[in-house]
Structure 1
Amino acid sequence: MHHSHFDFGYTDPQASVIAQQRSYLDTAMDLAKTTAAWPEESRFRWNAEALWAFSDWEKHRPASRIEEFVRLVKDGSIGLSAMPYNLHTDTCSTDELHELLREARRIRDEYGIDFTTAMQTDVPGQVAGLPDALSEIGVKYLAVAHNWAGRSQPHTTGALNLPRMFRWKTPAGNSVIVWMTDSPHGLAYMEGPNVGFTEGYNEVDVLFPAYLAALATRGYPYPPGIFGAHGETAEGRDGYPWDVLHLRTQGFMGDNGPARLHLSELVREWNENWTSPTLRVSRNEDFFAEAEARYGDELITVEGDWGDWWVEGVGSAAVPLALSRQGQAAVTDATSISEMAAWLGGSGIPTAKRESSEVYDAISMFNEHTWGAGDSWTHGDEGFQSGELQWQWKVGQGIAAHQRALEFREHAMAYLADDISPDPASVTSYVAANATGRRRDAVVRLLVKEAHIALDAGFVVRDGRTGEILPHSVKGQGNPAHRESGRWASVIVRDLPALGFVRLDVSRADTDAVAESLSLHSTPREDLLALENAHLRVTVDEQTSSISSIIEKRTGRELVNHDSVAGFNAYLYDQYGSSGAGFNHLANKLSVSDRLELLATRTLANPSVLVERTNDAIEQRLVFEYTALGVDKVEVTLRLRHGSPRLVIENRVTKKTTLIKESGYFAFPFAADDPVVHFEVSGGVTGDGIAHIPGAPQHMRAVRNWVSIDDGGDTVVWVTKDAPLVQAGSIALPYAPFPASTSPVEPATVFSWFHNNVWDTNFPIEQAFTATFTYAVGVRAHQDESTQAVAIATAADVIHPVAVAEAKGRDEAETAEVSLIDIDDDRVQLVAVVAGDEPGVSLVRLQSFIGDEIDATLTFGIDIDSAHRSTYLGDEREPLAVDGRRVGIRLAAYETAAIALRRAVAAS
């Protein structure tokens, strides 16, 4: 399989790499023409590992060249992968996994090219939801090459005898046949170069037969240490059982290699000299078709998440990663709000599809697996030493994703608010939009501009539905000389409609009463250090700078494990004994034992200083700060909203840069006797009692938004907004074989791994920031609420804030409330509503968080002409029954599915 492993950077600055990849496609076309009359097996064929390479090339070539390329694809000379590039799929959002395939869908429809195959290279693991997304576009085959790079241990965690070819099935029933190239001692996708295929016939003649013999007899063909990375002898893997083999090779031994005639010449000479084995320059599609025909009935089937062993590296960019995650949330809000405007009889954003695509492009390029140069610490202008130049390009993707998503959401709100008329008796009115699929009580934050009400004047905020005055809190504008002049008012809006809005009206008042902070001198200490509402009582320990107790008042249970290695929301800081001075691949070459030789220090926070304790119209709030090794300071804000079953935790960290190898954690030890812990991952759920691919990492993972802990009939949910990396039960030392460094293992403890600089290539080796890491802890609002509903509601509180814009409608009619959706099963999440391909069609994207098949009914606030089951991208399947404004859909376990809705008239 001749391909170029496409790193966006690593070997050269990104612009250079991208230009070279365009050139490779030109060369591939030329070589296909050159060898057209050669023996069939040796004709040049090319595998475009990243579909993005073709899409980019297509933009820079004339139509005649594009037509010729498409002909070569259809003739079997060039293979296209459905995936745009190689990603850390664990950091993708669920909708993003599907949006990754939008370009394949376009090419399918525009050129008549069906996609059966996808490739993923380098990254050792793919997330649970990927096969569902691939299946929707018709992909049946997935070719992966897992580069263990000394930082992966699947062979010691259940995958020793996982065959190279197997069927990967999701709980929803979709599946792909996987070819996996792997080795604890090899470079996986460099298999061809390793045995001479980038050198010459003589080298292949010596090395390739030995490779085949080794593969057939011991499964892992290479001995330990042969490529410089550490590795123990891996015995016990069965030999390769089949007589058709997939072998990757490049133009040279290295990433971003060119297309070369060399391989076809070598294959021709081999086949002239040997009757067996026969070599064929091939495409992934051709291999899989033959392999399935021969051995499809013999393949084992495995199910579940196949986590990414390298995802730990994303902790090296805590701030741009958080910006990208905020963009992932905002883009779904934006598309849903734009469709809300269209459903109400107004106009959705005419450019919504383009804006959405631009956001997803930036988000996904940030999630692309190349996070830096080969020597990421360098400051040159070319080659492996262009580290800083490459990193600026990469960070720019995360910043662009964040900016584009927020602008898109603002644009959508402007269109929605343009059709909502203000209350004529008020100074101004605001539209408070809930883009989630659940009714909710939520904090709404709006800017009362000086242009409307003087800064020293009082005001009131009324619920437009009832005229009730809503108690509010006020905060001054930040950086006031350089931003819109006004004050930020916060109110609690009860029963905010699902996929809907409430109008809020602002009027002048004689006074503007704002609660004062409690006196830090005269208030009893026990009152200052405790927060309490109808659902929770929270207590802080100043000495450990952590939360000492969280009592769920409905049940009386203590949520904090007092016997844990660290307090709740306690800061832990590790330093490691490996060099931080920029030694390429050093972390990949080091290993440890259970003696934890490389753990140099572990420290906790110093005692804290209480900064603020407030009980205002919105919440009880407690602020304290502390110093610690590894940070200048951490300021902790605890927010317990009145009437809310959720505690919000904001850790604002000020950190300087260092070359010392380090990790920072916040600990969340939950008390549970017999915990069942589930993790939301992109496109699915994993954890206790849920199957996963053998060898998937269990010591750490990237979660999407939440972790749930069930204990008998009790439940608690933990949510992370900004930092996806978690370790559960224990902190693993981040060097192979990743031994636990805390004891005993606490199954219900979650460690948020919010930053590290462990890698010595590809990822940055230092970072500094002042940034806030937000978490939430949620319990049931009532006894009948499901665990999944608690998770969805808790995540919405911190990840999907209510969007606000001034009402600018010009009609006399006043609309104070609209609700556009109701889902009768609280375990089903509305991911987003997006515009379909045809006018008047919307795609309602859903995700089930339950491991059983269910029937869900959606009631809409508009009249419906018809409904169809659909893919996330809009390919319609079978029709769904419509009963008035109700549509039912059957969802398989953990399924992602959409409803294509043809609307009739606007909401009443």
Structure 2
Amino acid sequence: MSIQNIDIIHHSHTDFGFTDHPLYARRLQKEYVGQGLKLAMEDPDFYWTAETALPAADWWESAAECDRDLLITALRTGKMDICGMAFNTTAFHTPEEWNRILKWLPRELTERWRPSSIMQNDVNGMPRAALTRALDQGMNALWIGPNTYNALPPCATPSAFYWEMPDGRRMFVWLNSGYCDGYFLFNENWRIGPVPAASDLRYRLPGPGDIWKADEESVLSAHKRCVETIKLLEGNSGENMEQSRDGFTQNKIYGGYPYERLLVSVTNNYRIDNDPPFGPIADFVRKWRELGLKPEIRMTTATEAMRCLEEENKDKIPVKKGEWVDWWANGTVSAPVELAAGKKAAVNLKAVEMLAKNRLEKGQNAGEQDNVGMSKKLCADYQDALEQLCMFHEHTYGSWQSVASPFSVDTRMMTAEKNIFAYRALALSENLTADYLRDRKITGEVCLINPNKYPVSTWIRFPYHCLRGTYCGVEDLRSHKKYPFIMEEGPSNFKRPEAESHLSRENVSKTFSDCVPGQIGRFWADNLKPFEEREYRLISGEEDIACKQVAGPPLEIELDHRHWPTRVCREGAVVVEGEFGSFLSCRPKGFAPRWVLKDIFLEDDERQRARMREQALEIITAKAEDAVITEDNEYTVTYRQEFSHPSLEWGLRELILYKQENRASLNIKFNRKPSFDPEVFYLAFQSPVHTIPVFCNADLPYLPGAGQLPGSCMDYYATDGFAWYEQDGHSWLWNGRDTSLTALGKPHVSERVSKMPEHPERLLSMIFDNTWDTNFVCNSYGIMEFCYEVLADGGFQTDELPDVVQTVNKEPILIINK
């Protein structure tokens, strides 16, 4: 037996939800920091690690000064540890969110003590963008305990490696075999039945003698179990042994463990998640030591354990590179409307930040009270919105019974609390932008502001009744070019409908008209430069608004048999080629279909797994109707097409082709029928540049396949929402504004892809997935909308892409003062 030492790291796994309402779970976690501190200072063998920083920040804010001093003493002497990430995360954070998440501890605390490590548990991926920022903050070690429920670790667990970042810096990684693996190393499973809420008085916390029994017989029995499990860790046998998978999360035990020191993670076994420190573990450790058992065990902190393992094995630890793509990213798209709201909030926050910094750089912020171009009040509002957005992407979506009991109060209240973070972030970001611009006192009858680093030309829409008068267009006060208003149907609120034609099919309540002519106006904004504030004059109906038509090179458009464009070229640049927004779904057949998917995923034999997929999965492509041209003018031509699918009440897609740019926009809207059956929705696109795309996560680019950690998820990719194809002087930038999950080639539901598919130029935007079986949303339904843009041969460089995409996502801001 080569393992000589076992380090036990005791912590509480942080879920803001799952077991209890998120507000109460946060309160519990705050209390656990104080409890862990008390136990650590009273018992010489007890050590406690705060898995995440947010509970420690909450505790610090309300703690007495003497208790704060005690915490600093515990941290400096190694009796306690606070890991530096605010909470366990998903893969959808923006760079601004990551910056906030890694600086969550109060300044007064970090001035006296700084975290040097991160702990992430119950997640199945980790963006490098987060770790580069962690390294900037002096955090150089990552403890990560993947939950392999419907997921796979990138390599055998437990193991250690150096993870090399794009800039050459390295993060030491301890890849744990689960966040409660230490309990099952010594004990059989104690938790049985459902997950009790903390308020449920029918269940009680375990006490001395329930778990971690410290009498001689129990410790000797635990030793026997430990030795048998170590044989499995070091060898390659044990297929028929109970310990070949742990007792709760069923994480597989791999062989070949090479080190003399083993690190394990221990939570309380009451509910596993959101549970308090368990002091009697120290009694177990003392009895083990008293009996002289081998290997030696001790309680310690995550930082100290990783430091020791790294120091002892520096020459043996392999180096790995690449993005660690998250398996559990698919859960978030079970709530596509909320995900889209969060993405829009992030775009708004980025825009107002860029506007403020641009004015600051130009010295136009006289009277501002800070160094970021915003007043103290607006800075506080910005941070509030950013924190709400961060919390939306915390890894716990809802109750453990969200799918099993979707109508339960527990499910409803946790889902509501989770979703409110996205909606709060959106509302706060919109009002932040308005407040910032009101403070600026923008003048002019009409003003358009481009809050981005790249120029933009687009249609500007507005409710016509916001004008206090009758006008037919605007005049650009710089160029003196006039742009007429084009009138569209729109809502007429608080009025009784006068005709059936005044009610769209989206108007499901049939209360107020939403298709009344002349309610929406729009005009063309031509080449708004970066950060430009362009003023216009409103034109009354008596003025001549005729303007010179600008003829550009004609679009070359090929149509399919339903008159939908399948190839669009402009001056040799291919904008559209093949599929462009085809709707398809993948769903399992059979009894208890989520178990069908799980059985497929757990099948290790690749050929058998392929046979199971072929028999059990059904792919259905939507049926398209004839497309029609709804508008053809100087600037754009618009195609509209209805489509039908068994899972939808109706579907509609609208394609806008730009006549003066190598650009196309696609808007897809559909109404999903209520259904709790698992299925995945995709929109398929074909890149005219036939190569593997570059993806980005938090502005850090990576190449799927070759550019990711071997063994990480290739069934789909968590991204910033865009893909970049470039080869032989041609490029194609595809961007999805409302979602961030993408597959390549074909649907890969439960496939466990291990190599790049044959046709990576086929891109599948994964817009909905309710196949998850525990704590995500079981039945999102109703009207959903998704918007896409493509730019061909734009001449961009890879490092420019985040700002180009921000420009595409954030339309010019319209201010009307008359």
Question: Any residues of structure 2 matched to 1:160-175 within 5 Å, and which?
Answer: 160=156, 164-175=159-170
Question: Which residue identity does 1:83 align to in structure 2?
Answer: M
Equivalences for residues 184-195 of structure 1 within 5 A: 188-195=178-185
User: Helix, strand or coil: the match of 1:11?
Assistant: coil
2:418 to 381, 394, 400: 394
Task: Tell me by how many angstroms 1:607 deviates.
Answer: 3.0
Judging changes above 3 Å, is the alpha-carbon distance between structure 1 residues 137 and 500 closer, same or farther for their aligned structure 2 residues? Answer: farther
State which of 496, 501, 504 in structure 1 corresponds to 2:533. Answer: 501
**Correspondence for 1:117:** 117
Aligned pairs, number: 744
Q: Is the 8 A contact 1:141 1:288 kept in 2?
A: yes
Residue matched to 1:576: 588
* 1:647-686 mapped onto 2 (5 Å cutoff): 647-673=664-690, 675-686=691-702
Q: Offset of 1:3 from its aligned partner?
A: 0.4
Paired residue for 1:354, among 380, 383, 388? 380
The alpha-carbon deviation at position 301 of structure 1 amounts to: 1.7
- CA apart distance, 1:262: 1.4
The one of 285, 303, 307 equivalent to 1:289 is: 307
Q: Is the 8 A contact 1:131 1:168 kept in 2?
A: no
The 8 Å contact of residues 474 and 488 in structure 1, kept in 2 or not, is answered as yes
**Could you say which residue in structure 1 is the equivalent of 2:785?**
772
Match of 1:345 in 2: 365
TM superposition shift of 1:724: 1.2
Q: Distance in 2 between matches of 1:626 and 1:533?
A: 32
**2:402 is matched with which residue?**
376
Aligned partners of 2:348 and 2:810 also within 8 Å: yes
Q: Is the 8 A contact 1:578 1:598 kept in 2?
A: no
Compared CA separation, residues 169 and 492, structure 1 to 2 (3 A): farther
The 5 Å alignment of 1:717-728 reads 717-728=733-744
Are 1:585 and 1:761, in contact at CA under 8 Å, matched by a contact in 2?
no
Structure 1 residues 142-190: Cα deviation after superposition (integer angstroms, max 9, x where no partner):
10001111x22346xxx35x871111111122321111013xxxxx111
Q: Which residue of 1 aligns with 2:107?
A: 106
Tell me, what secondary structure is at the counterpart of 2:723? Answer: strand
SS in 2 for 1:245: strand
For 2:720, the equivalent position in structure 1 comes to 704
Q: CA deviation digits over 1:624-681, x for unaligned, max 9? A: 21221111111111112341221000001111221222111111122445x1321122
Q: Deviations over 1:501-527 (max 9, x none)?
A: 222332323269899xxxxxxxxxxxx
Distance 1:226-1:179 versus aligned 2 partners, 3 A rule:
closer
1:788 maps onto 2:783 in alignment:
no
Match of 2:20 in 1: 12
Alignment pair present for 1:715 and 2:731: yes
Distance 1:239 1:29, change over 3 A: same
What displacement does 1:327 show?
0.8
Q: Which residue is equivalent to 1:69?
A: 71
Amino acid at match of 1:239: G
Which residue is equivalent to 1:834?
none
Instruction: Give, in whole Å, the separation in 1 of the partners of 2:96 and 2:803.
Output: 19
Q: CA deviation at 1:238?
A: 6.0
Report the RMSD for the aligned CA atoms in angstroms.
Answer: 3.4
Match of 2:761 in 1: 748
Is 1:633 equivalent to 2:650 in the alignment? yes
Give the letter aligned to residue 585 of structure 2. Answer: Y
Counterpart in the other structure of 1:310: 328
TM-score (norm 1): 0.75
2:208 alignment counterpart: none
Distance 1:177 1:230, change over 3 A: closer
> Structure 1 residue 797: deviation in Å?
4.9
Q: Distance in 2 between matches of 1:683 and 1:168?
A: 19
Please list, as runs of the form range in 1=range in 2, the aligned pairs for 1:364-763 lying within 5 A after superposition.
364-377=390-403, 386-416=410-440, 418=441, 420-422=442-444, 428-430=445-447, 432-446=448-462, 449-450=465-466, 452-453=468-469, 457-475=470-488, 478-481=491-494, 488-510=520-542, 534=553, 536-541=555-560, 543=562, 547-555=564-572, 559-561=576-578, 567-577=579-589, 591=603, 593-595=609-611, 596-597=613-614, 599-610=616-627, 613-616=630-633, 618-673=635-690, 675-687=691-703, 691-732=707-748, 734-735=749-750, 737=752, 745-763=758-776
Q: State the match for 1:78 in structure 2.
A: 80
Q: Secondary structure at the match of 1:209?
A: helix
> Where does residue 176 of structure 1 map in the other structure?
171
**Residue type of the alignment partner of 2:173:** V
Match of 1:851 in 2: none
CA distance in 2, matches of 1:135, 1:169: 11
How much does 1:792 deviate?
5.0
8 A contact 2:528–2:534 mirrored in 1: yes
TM-superposed deviation, 1:774? 0.7
- Conserved? CA contact 1:587–1:759, under 8 Å: no
**How far apart, CA to CA, are the structure 2 residues paired with 1:256 and 1:220?**
32
Question: Which residue, 26, 31, 45 being the options, matches 1:23?
Answer: 31
- Match of 2:644, SS state, is strand
Does the residue aligned with 1:302 lie in a helix, a strand or coil? strand
Letter paired with 1:273: L
Seen in structure 2, the aligned counterparts of structure 1 residues 537 and 107 have a Cα distance that, compared at 3 Å, is: farther
1:802 aligns with 2:804: no
Deviation, structure 1 residue 53: 0.8
Partner of 2:148: 148
After superposition, give the CA deviation of every residue in 1:683-729 in whole Å (9 maximum; x if it has no partner). 41122685321211122111103111223222112111112111102
Counterpart Cα distance in 1 of 2:657 and 2:430:
27
| Distance (whole Å) between structure 1 residues aligned to residue 108 and residue 554 of structure 2 | 53
Amino acid at match of 2:796: S
Correspondence 1:812-831 to 2 at 5 A = none
Name the CA distance, whole Å, in 1 between partners of 2:772 and 2:138.
Answer: 36
Percent identity between the two aligned chains: 18
**Cross-structure match for 2:203:** none
In the TM superposition, what is the alpha-carbon distance from 1:196 to its structure 2 partner? Answer: 2.8
Contact 2:125 2:327 in 1 (8 A): yes
CA contact (8 A) 1:7 1:370 kept: yes
Instruction: Please state how far the C-alpha of 1:557 moved relative to its aligned partner.
Output: 5.0
Counterpart code for 2:449: A
Partner of residue 57, structure 2: 55
- Deviation at residue 74 of structure 1 after TM alignment: 2.7
SS of residue in 1 equivalent to 2:336: helix
* Aligned AA (1:148): T
User: CA 1:589–1:339 in 2, change beyond 3 Å: closer, same or farther?
Assistant: closer
The amino acid across from 2:428 in the alignment is R
Q: Which residue of 2 aligns with 1:93?
A: 94
Structure 1: gaps (5+ residues): 183-187, 423-427, 516-531, 562-566, 809-908
Q: CA deviation at 1:460?
A: 2.8
Equivalent pair of 1:116/1:141 in contact (CA under 8 Å):
yes
Distance 1:535 1:303, change over 3 A: farther
Q: CA deviation at 1:283?
A: 0.9
Q: Name the amino acid aligned to 1:414.
A: R
In structure 2, distance between residues paired with 1:585 and 1:59: 45
CA–CA separation in structure 1 for the residues paired with 2:375 and 2:559: 47
The letter for the 2-side match of 1:374 is W
User: For 1:408-448, what per-residue CA distance to the aligned partner results, in whole angstroms no more than 9, with x for missing partners?
Assistant: 122222223x1x432xxxxx232x22222223334444555
Q: 1:790 to 1:50 in 2, by over 3 A?
A: closer
What is the identity, as a one-letter code, of the residue corresponding to 2:104? E
Q: Deviation digits for residues 862-886 of structure 1, max 9, x if unmatched?
A: xxxxxxxxxxxxxxxxxxxxxxxxx
Which residue in the other structure is 2:195 paired with? none
